[in-house]
Amino acid sequence: MIEVKKLTKRYGQHYAVNDISFTVDDGEILGFLGPNGAGKTTTMNIITGYISATDGDVVINGVDLLAEPEKAKSGIGYLPDTPPLYNEMKVDEYLRFVADIKKVKSGARRKMMEDIKETVRITDMSNRLIKNLSKGYKQRVGLAQAMMGYPEVIIMDEPTVGLDPKQIIEMRDVIKRLGKKHTVILSSHILSEVSAVCDRIMIINKGRIKASDTTEHLSSKLSHGHTMSVRVKGEEALILKAIESFPVIKSVRAAGSHEAGTVDLEMSGDEDVDIREAIFVCMSKNNFPILQMKSMDLSLEEIFLQITGGEGGASL
């Protein structure tokens, strides 16, 4: 659905985006993450045709953005971090105005408006002045304008910024529903929201793509066996005593018992050390059967910090 090939945006000697390539599949919700100044907004502005690239290509649903800009842009809906609203208009007036701009046929306009308002749950606001709406409803009206014309691709930059917890949950539900009919790129600093709604995440740092995968796969790649959850058969005090003789295991926390005669332990070592073999040797040597051992999942926040921390961060 979206193909980005060797995209570069240069300002003088500074590279805002530096030779990045990626694809977003039909019906996929992609979380686009990165620190401030990493190149997220620049990339999205290029994809939407708002600014031009120095080098590279963007293809939307098989249409080259540079060769056929009007046709390519007709397949994109964009919700920037500040919705492009006219506060003195009523909601329906504004959506009709957007429909005119997007050249929606008059015969299809009314049904489309009603369908979109129902999707983003603003039907009851149809005759309200936009300036009198809450922040959450303004965000939904902004999303409705992005959906007008039924574009195949919806791009959203910080759609939940400034919303209260209830509004964030409501917007999350809307985004999930969008993913059933549209390809979605979502940029947000609220990582818990990205984790909740996105099929895949992509992390950009200093203009380059550093990671692109599911949260689960990135967690597995980054944990490297240095943080483990282990279920061991035996007495807790004796097991903890045995672990003391294995200094490679830096910390141990008892996490209760979920089976009779067992204890669950959370163990970790240094970041670059795989402690799985040490755990096996320790338990085997002391006759404590291991009933279960698995890597502990990293949160999206931990993944983000590992990849973007330090000079350039890790790449996956």
Q: Domain check: are 178 and 279 in the same one?
A: no
* pLDDT score at 311: 44
CA–CA separation, 152 and 110 (whole Å): 20
72 vs 43: CA distance, rounded Å: 16
CA atoms within 13 A on the CB side of 215: 22
Q: CATH number of the domain that 291 lies in?
A: 3.30.70.3100
Residue 65 near residue 72 (C-beta atoms within 8 A): yes
Do 147 and 267 lie in a common domain?
Answer: no
Q: Are strands 262-268 and 227-233 parallel, antiparallel or unpaired?
A: antiparallel
Mean pLDDT, the chain cut into blocks of 10 residues (316 residues total)? 94 94 93 89 92 94 92 92 93 96 91 94 95 92 94 91 83 87 88 85 92 76 70 95 92 90 90 85 95 79 76 52
How many domains is the chain built from?
2
Query: Based on the domain organization, do 90 and 185 belong to the same domain?
Result: yes
303 in a structural domain: no
d(CA 8, CA 224): 33
Clarify whether residues 215 and 243 are in a common domain.
Answer: no
DSSP 132: G
For the beta carbon of residue 307, count every other beta carbon within 10 angstroms.
Answer: 23
In this structure, the answer to whether residues 175 and 278 fall within a common structural domain is no
- CATH label of the domain that carries residue 107: 3.40.50.300
Task: Name the β-bridge partners of 293.
Answer: 230
User: For position 222, what pLDDT does the model report?
Assistant: 61
Give the domain extent around 235.
Answer: 225-295
Read off the tokens for 158.
């910080």
312 lies in a domain?
no
Q: Which among 174, 194, 220 is the end of a domain?
A: 220
Q: Do 179 and 35 belong together in one domain? A: yes
For residue 174, what pLDDT is reported? 87
Structure tokens at 194: 């990205």
Stated pTM of the model:
0.74
